[in-house]
Amino acid sequence: MRIDIITVLPELLESPLGHSIIKRACNKGLAEINIINLRDFTTDKRRTVDDYQYGGDAGMVMMIEPIDKAISYLKSQRHYDEIIYTSPDGEILNQKTANTLSTKENIIILCGHYKGIDHRVREHLITKEISIGDYVLTGGELAAAVIVDSVVRLIPGAMNDNESALSDSFQDNLLAPPIYTRPADYKGWKVPEILLSGNEAMIDKWQMEQALERTKQLRPNLLEGGE
Ligand code: ADE
């Protein structure tokens, strides 16, 4: 899978995507993540990417031309399955969206900034808008990093068996059961006996019950098929 991220702040993305499972997936050739500086598609000396808003309201707006040039350049190289804009107005990211995106071959993520982008970009160039929650970030880079992290780890081979995505929270619309490691008794706080029993069938049953119970208590909407 290839992910091209268009941003005015490339530095903000390099570190979050340069470690752990994501780095390994890139090193294994399962994912290729390219960070593209929008300013490389400007034509003036100051490499301007924003301008004042029509209508007189405060706040700068990202201009259509450099964005169109960047996207057109990428599209001239290959087909893209999705051109995503990170925005608080978008569809809220969930595990289902991450699963779907992980099956795509090529995607572009455009990071929003300033007051936002010229609306014509959204009307004519973007195929999907994604929000990572009902709050406003300074820019779309951290949202893009969250999207990429949630997607790339799901690409087959990105994780080893121990890290398997199948036991993640949300994967069956259930939260994950509680997990423990040594010591079995810490200050009298004990690991549930069943997990020490070695009885795999009983452990599976207990974990499923716990997952259901935690979901019922903490996120009952998931059991109703909600998100
Ligand atoms: N840009 C600013 N806030 C955002 C959010 N909540 N999700 C995605 N992109 C954003």
pLDDT for 176-188, tens place per residue?
999 999 999 999 9
Residue with tokens 């598609």: 41
Whether residue 59 is found in the same domain as residue 144 = yes
**H helices present in 153-187, as ranges:** none
Whether residue 61 is found in the same domain as residue 105 = yes
Domain assignment present for 157: no
Q: How far is the CA of 140 from the centre of ligand 1 (A)?
A: 5
pLDDT of 115 higher than 90: no
Whether residue 211 is found in the same domain as residue 119 = no
Whether residue 179 is found in the same domain as residue 105 = no
Mean residue pLDDT of the chain comes to: 94
Domain assignment present for 213: yes
Whether residue 142 is found in the same domain as residue 88 = yes
* Domain boundary pick from 124, 152, 180: 152
**175 lies in which domain range?**
169-223
Domain assignment present for 182: yes
Which among 69, 51, 68 is positioned nearest to 60, based on CA atoms? Answer: 51
How many CB atoms sit inside 10 A of residue 204's CB? 11
| Residue 87 DSSP SS3 | strand
Whether residue 219 is found in the same domain as residue 117 = no
Per the structure block, which two tokens stand in for 33?
């993540």
Q: How far is the CA of 128 from the centre of ligand 1 (A)?
A: 13
Number of domains composing the chain: 2
Domain assignment present for 62: yes
DSSP state of 81: S
Domain assignment present for 162: no
Q: In CATH, what number is assigned to the domain containing residue 42?
A: 3.40.1280.10
Domain assignment present for 163: no
Per the structure block, which two tokens stand in for 78?
């290959």
C-beta of residue 71 within 8 angstroms of C-beta of residue 40:
no
Which among 2, 9, 65, 15 is positioned nearest to 36, based on CA atoms? Answer: 9
Residue nearest to atom 2 of ligand 1 (CA): 137
Average pLDDT over residues 36-54: 97
C-beta of residue 31 within 8 angstroms of C-beta of residue 22:
yes
Average pLDDT over residues 39-59: 95
The band of 210, judged by pLDDT with boundaries at 50, 70 and 90, is: very high
Domain assignment present for 38: yes
Q: Which pLDDT score, from 0 to 100, does residue 226 have?
A: 64
C-beta of residue 8 within 8 angstroms of C-beta of residue 49:
yes
pLDDT of 190 higher than 90: yes
The response to whether residue 129 sits with its C-beta less than 6 Å from ligand 1 reads no
pLDDT for 145-173, tens place per residue?
999 999 999 999 999 876 677 777 787 88
